[in-house]
Amino acid sequence: MTQVNAKDFIEELRFDIREKDMIKAKLVLSKIESVDDSIRKLALFELNRADDQFAIPLIVSLIAEYRNLARTYPQLREILYAKALYHPQMLLSMLTRESRREDRVVLVEVAGEMRLEGAASQLMGILNEDGDEVVIKAVVMALGMIGETAATTAISEYLYSGSLELTIAAIYALGQLASPTAFQRLSEKLGADPDLDIMILDVFATDQSPAAIDRLNEVLSSHYAHLRNATKQRLREMGGKAVPSLIGNLLHDDPDLLIHTLNVLGEIGDESAIVPIRKLLHNEPKNANVRFAAYEALGMLPVEKGAFALAQGLADPVQNVRAAAAAAIDRNYNTMLAAGLKNMVRSGGIETRQVTEAVLNGGCDAIFLDLLEEKSFQACALDFLGTTVHPDVRSRFVDLMRKNGHDALVARIGDTNGNTPSAALTVFAVDDSKMILNIYRGALHSLGCAPRLFEFPAEAVKAVTMDKPDVIFTDLNMPEINGIELIREVRRHYDKTDLPIIMVTTQNETQDNDAATEAGVNKILHKPFTAENLGNALNALGIIPPKTEKKDDHKAVG
């Protein structure tokens, strides 16, 4: 780099400013990177005290021509802003008459960043007359910064411009306008491109106004899995602000919307959701997946008053609903619930077996230890632990009994359970619900399979590349990586013959099913599932488990 004489640099700059020689002043300032910091400060000082009528065009031209220089020395823009505040009409006049693209872009940017009063109409004019994409992008962004709602329709047109940069600029500009109409236009764009969809959802999540939250909430009913899952994540992160809109969803009768809403409400953990969820259960939803999601959500909430109402879930005809209800009871266990459960298990009949299985599948330590005093529950629990449950479940409750002084009961557990045979099918089960994974474990074990459970899809994808299973069961709606994306990842390594994949979901959307089929799924099942359902699916694909047994209704899982 050519060395610049510091003294000559400053003297020449002063002279050019005094003589109002724009060309020479620009030439001198273009060398500012070649002098040391003290000289740069002097140069900026001279520029700052220069006549505004001369300095404003000079700085605009300098920033336009030497973009890196402007980024390195943000003081240039600061000086320009300070001078433009005193001469806004000059900036507006330059905005109208300037024809050089680079200078016009800088002027547009400054007008937007300063939210310059009166600039919006001129910017709209530029939008109508200038066909240069770079200028249009700058204008769209400036109108967004100014907050010119009258430009909503004009900006919205660029959502469909065919230019990715203009589309992105329009998305963020509409987000800055933040009007109901702007959000409506963004909502209408959803579903066309996954990357753009995420940008739009982030606009709503960042704004967090009631209108933005309502738009996010509406996306829970989307036909596209990636949109639903991304929306659920953002609503969770939003927390309490999202709860009123979510609670409103519980008044609808769309099972899919109810399930997604309950999932989010449980994870947010806001106590205001308890009563509406209980009311939903009181109305006895016909869809078992809705009942499951409701009890699962209550299991994440501190249900103190009215906790006794949870006990009705233990009488549900579907086992996975009973397991979710048991987990919710265990979280909120109290004297009243204990009394009610003890009455339920004293008969020693099918009801006792159902409660026992739900307690074991739900991992309910508090209930288990309390009911262990009841002879009928005790006998049923020891029988299940000795003959039916997965070895991991057996070990968990055996350790629990030993820690609490029940060694004599441990000694009564039979040894027929053992480990899953080494020749068993290795089955991966992927679901973001721990409760569903527990149910998978029991169901697959009863079929003679060796289940490996994954709460996080990314871990399942990694495991597949290291240790190929015989088959994969996967949920659809999961955070970070949904079931369709998981299928695509697995298919990068194994085709449909090498590694069958069965998607098990509450959803029954044509778009999802078509996307799953295109991604390479072998079969689609719908929740709630039973061990028999899973076994039939394996048989239909020609994968015969080494061990099958007919399950009575009271032992059905799902």
DSSP 419: P
pLDDT band at 340 (very low <50, low <70, confident <90, very high): confident
What pLDDT is stored for residue 420 in this prediction?
Answer: 54
Which are the contacts of 32, defined by CB distance < 8 A and separation ≥ 6?
Answer: 40, 43, 69, 73
Strand-pair partners of 524: 503
Q: In whole angstroms, what is the distance from residue 179 CA to residue 77 CA?
A: 30
Residue 202's alpha-carbon distances to 67, 74, 415, in angstroms, are 29, 28, 55
Contact in structure between 247 and 265 (CB atoms under 8 Å): yes
DSSP 351-400: HHHHHHHHHHHTT-HHHHHHHTTSHHHHHHHHHHHHHTS-HHHHHHHHHH
Of 309 and 321, the one with more pLDDT: 321
Position 512 in a domain: yes
Q: Which residue in 120, 96, 41 sits closest to 73, CA to CA?
A: 41
DSSP 498: T
The lowest-confidence range among 209-213, 380-384, 414-418, 542-546 is 414-418
What pLDDT is stored for residue 92 in this prediction?
Answer: 87
- The set of long-range contacts for 83-90, using a CB threshold of 8 Å and a minimum separation of 24, is 83/52, 83/55, 83/56, 83/59, 84/56, 84/110, 84/114, 84/116, 85/114, 86/52, 87/52, 87/53, 87/56, 88/116, 88/117, 88/118, 90/52, 90/53, 90/56
Relative orientation angle of helices 75-86 and 52-65, to the nearest 10 degrees: 140
Cα angle 166-167-173, degrees, rounded to a multiple of 5: 85
The lowest-confidence range among 295-304, 364-373, 460-469 is 295-304
Section 376-395 average pLDDT: 91
Alpha helices, H only, 116-223 = 119-129, 133-146, 152-156, 164-177, 180-189, 194-207, 210-219
Position 229 in a domain: no
Q: In whole angstroms, what is the distance from residue 495 CA to residue 487 CA?
A: 10
70 phi-psi bin (left φ>0, alpha ψ -120 to 50, beta other): alpha
- Six-digit token string for 446: 């009863």
Position 168 in a domain: no
What pLDDT is stored for residue 418 in this prediction?
Answer: 52
What pLDDT is stored for residue 551 in this prediction?
Answer: 43
Contact in structure between 299 and 266 (CB atoms under 8 Å): yes
pLDDT digits (tens, 9 = 90+) for 477-497: 998 899 999 999 999 999 999
pLDDT digits (tens, 9 = 90+) for 111-137: 999 998 889 988 998 888 878 899 999
pLDDT band at 225 (very low <50, low <70, confident <90, very high): confident
pLDDT band at 545 (very low <50, low <70, confident <90, very high): low
Q: In whole angstroms, what is the distance from residue 281 CA to residue 292 CA?
A: 10
Position 240 in a domain: no
Q: In whole angstroms, what is the distance from residue 189 CA to residue 443 CA?
A: 42
The lowest-confidence range among 61-75, 190-204, 342-356 is 61-75
What pLDDT is stored for residue 497 in this prediction?
Answer: 92
Q: In whole angstroms, what is the distance from residue 13 CA to residue 28 CA?
A: 6
State which H helix or E strand residue 453 sits in. strand 450-454
Q: What are phi and psi of 525, to 5 degrees?
A: -115, 160
Q: In whole angstroms, what is the distance from residue 31 CA to residue 195 CA?
A: 41
Indicate whether 313 pLDDT > 50: yes
Q: Which residue in 125, 72, 63 sits closest to 95, CA to CA?
A: 125
Which are the contacts of 458, defined by CB distance < 8 A and separation ≥ 6?
Answer: 480, 481
pLDDT digits (tens, 9 = 90+) for 54-113: 999 999 988 888 888 788 888 888 999 999 888 888 888 888 876 788 888 999 999 999
| Helix, strand or coil, per DSSP, at residue 523 | strand
Q: In whole angstroms, what is the distance from residue 293 CA to residue 477 CA?
A: 13
What pLDDT is stored for residue 3 in this prediction?
Answer: 62
Indicate whether 555 pLDDT > 60: no
DSSP 425: P
Position 272 in a domain: no
pLDDT digits (tens, 9 = 90+) for 238-285: 999 999 999 999 999 999 999 999 999 999 999 999 999 999 999 999
Position 369 in a domain: no
Indicate whether 548 pLDDT > 50: no
Indicate whether 209 pLDDT > 80: yes
- Six-digit token string for 409: 């009961």
CATH code at position 447? 3.40.50.2300
Position 535 in a domain: yes
Number of domains in the chain: 1
Q: In whole angstroms, what is the distance from residue 86 CA to residue 67 CA?
A: 24
What's the mean per-residue pLDDT of the chain? Answer: 89
Position 231 in a domain: no
| Helix, strand or coil, per DSSP, at residue 501 | strand
Radius of gyration of the chain, Cα coordinates, nearest whole angstrom: 33
Residue 401's alpha-carbon distances to 165, 169, 370, 382, 556, in angstroms, are 63, 62, 11, 11, 26
| Structural domain boundaries, residue 529 | 426-555
To 10 degrees, the CA torsion angle through 512, 454, 303, 209? -50
pLDDT digits (tens, 9 = 90+) for 524-539: 999 989 899 999 999 9
